[in-house]
Amino acid sequence: MQLLSLQFALCFAALLALYWIAPKKAWQNALLLVGSIGFIGTHSLSAAVCVIVSTFIEWRLALAMGAVTERRPRLMVLWGSILLNVGQLAFFKYSQFFLPELATVLKPAGISLHVMSVLMPVGLSFWTLQKMTLTLDVFYRRKPATQSYWECLLFTAFFPTLLSGPIEFSRKLLPQFQTARTISTGQVAEAVWLLAMGAFHKAVIADNIGASVEVLMAPGHSGFSLLIGIWAYAVQIYADFAGYSYLARGCARLLGLDITQNFLAPYLAPNLSDFWKRWHVSLSGWLNEFIFVPTSLALRNWGTMSIIAAVWVTFLASGLWHGTGMAYVVWGSVHAVGLTIFNLTHGWRKRVKKKYGSAGWLKWSAVAVNFNWVCLGYFFFRAGHVGVAVDQLRSLFGHLDWDPVVENWNVIVPCTAVIFWLQSALAATKNEFWIFQKPIWFRAMAYLVLAFLLMRFYAPADRFIYFQF
Amino acid sequence: MTRTELLPKLLELARDVIGDEDLTFDGSTPFETIEEWDSMNHVHMIVRMEKAFGIRFNDAARLQSVVKVQDLLDFIADLKGI
């Protein structure tokens, strides 16, 4: 069941009605838990079992962590949690690759290995990281261990965030399950805005421009076609993923819960460091807090090299987390190279800033360079195969001539313009609810336009891109 | 060094690391509101503070829980015993 479907809308409406009729928060939590496990069950029963068992182990580890104060046993529990979770991710994400290879290697030795196909539980990458914060937040003394298993299970299985995040920290979301919830008309209005933006980003922008991307990046096209194609893909993947995050946040807000804003106008970032503060904020916050900062601090005697080493560790981990195969490692490496350059030019950038201040041309040049660097990574991210991406890059730089196949301007230009306009509005106001600062006639017009665009250009929703992770 | 001397010294270090002579903050400022205080500058700052104040931030859990400038000032004061 997808978030953007009639089936989900009907189930969610029924749950919402029961949820707000329920007299106590314990009943509300029970409804959410049943709804969440049922939601996973619509994808696969084995995934539901996996979430239930895996969360039980994590809950016991978090309790064990909370029960001791000495550093050594706490570290042992922490490493137990890390090994279990990384092992779980590696088994489900990589077994389909290494088990057939292993069977081939063992066959000449007379050992017959019966290879079963292992289906990855839905949203595994997302809920595993979210679940790990049950133990990590206790280790870093951000919160005490939660005594209730059912609350921990609800935290892991919470259906709006389960499939593609945002990845929540236990210290932020769990306390919300432990307090009575209320909802105001203002929150309902905000939720409706988030849901409308989510549907618009996914069904109008991402799925329409996605069809053009498929044409533009098909084999045999010129470098010019690939260049426009990868720019369009940047719009598609942003609209797709941000659309999901909007929908998840809108659903949570209707339940009286607040979850992380996952995107802050990322394509207007002037450098990669800033980009990662704006793109997939919940993942970069997780990686920053639990991989980058601990690694760089542990190596801080190395000087600047400590930061560069931590950047590489973080982005290689991010690449492996995203997908299976070398293409995602290369994608992570593209970002690591960019951030290495960013660090090594720290002194030079300080001098440039001192000389030119915040000149507009300098800022927009930096934004353009940064956007194209991100697009370079997208070649590998989209292709999923290093060879395909390298061939595309060869064509891009070898045949950068006009290609009449670029005929979808009527889709690409308005979609791109709308996305950059929305990002500019968000960056200028630093408020995703900027619409509520406008006069009522403007808001009414905005909703009418959104409704019209949804009815007129609604493309049959394909799966969300990040669903595969 | 007294507690009151910590804030001006911290500000001086931050201006140098971030490269902004006009940067200003006080004890109540959350780090997330200082635009260029990203995770990389955070690590640069920790290395510079350890040298400047002659301390070592060994308690990773406490370091991770620093949210406002005052949290950091208190941490430094505790390590220096002032």
Q: Which domains does chain B have, with CATH numbers?
A: 3-80 (1.10.1200.10)
Average pLDDT over residues B16-45: 85
Mean pLDDT score of chain B, rounded to an integer? 87
CB contact under 8 A, A141 and B61: yes
Are A273 and A294 in contact, with CB atoms under 8 Å apart?
Answer: no
Chain A within 8 Å of B42 (Cβ-Cβ)? yes
Enter the tokens of residue B45: 């700052």
Chain B within 8 Å of A350 (Cβ-Cβ)? yes
Chain A within 8 Å of B39 (Cβ-Cβ)? yes
Express as a percent the part of chain A with pLDDT over 90.
Answer: 48
Nearest CA in chain B to A306: B43
Rounded CA separation A298/A251 (Å): 40
* Cβ-based contacts of B62 with chain A (< 8 Å): 141
Mutate to test the interface with A, among B16, B33, B36, B39 (most CBs of A within 10 A): B39
Average pLDDT over residues A103-129: 75
Number of A:B CB contacts under 8 A? 50
Chain B within 8 Å of A140 (Cβ-Cβ)? yes
Enter the tokens of residue A433: 């609810």
Enter the tokens of residue A136: 């990590």
CB contact under 8 A, A289 and B64: yes
Rounded CA separation A151/A190 (Å): 26
* Cβ-based contacts of B21 with chain A (< 8 Å): 354
| Complex-level ipTM | 0.81
Question: Residue A359: its pLDDT value, please?
Answer: 74
Mean pLDDT score of chain A, rounded to an integer? 87
* Cβ-based contacts of A303 with chain B (< 8 Å): 47
Whether A17 has a pLDDT exceeding 70, the answer reads yes
Average pLDDT over residues A58-73: 92
Question: Residue A319: its pLDDT value, please?
Answer: 92
**Which residue in the block uniquely carries the two structure tokens 């069977």?**
A103
Closest Cβ opposite residue A142 in set B40, B50, B65:
B65
Digit-coded pLDDT (tens) for A167-224: 999 999 999 999 989 899 999 999 999 999 998 898 888 888 888 888 888 887 788 8
* Cβ-based contacts of B60 with chain A (< 8 Å): 140, 294, 297
Chain A within 8 Å of B32 (Cβ-Cβ)? no
Question: Residue A353: its pLDDT value, please?
Answer: 76
CB contact under 8 A, A142 and B64: yes
Q: What is the DSSP string of A117-174?
A: P-PPPTTHHHHHHHHHHHHHHHHTTSSPPP--HHHHHHHHH-HHHHTT-----HHHHH
Enter the tokens of residue A328: 């995602």
Whether A103 has a pLDDT exceeding 80, the answer reads no
Are A315 and A330 in contact, with CB atoms under 8 Å apart?
Answer: no
Average pLDDT over residues A24-28: 91
> In Å, how far is A317's CA from the nearest CA of chain B?
17
* Cβ-based contacts of B43 with chain A (< 8 Å): 293, 296-297, 300, 306-307, 310
Instruction: Enter the DSSP assignment of A204.
Output: I
CB contact under 8 A, A288 and B39: yes
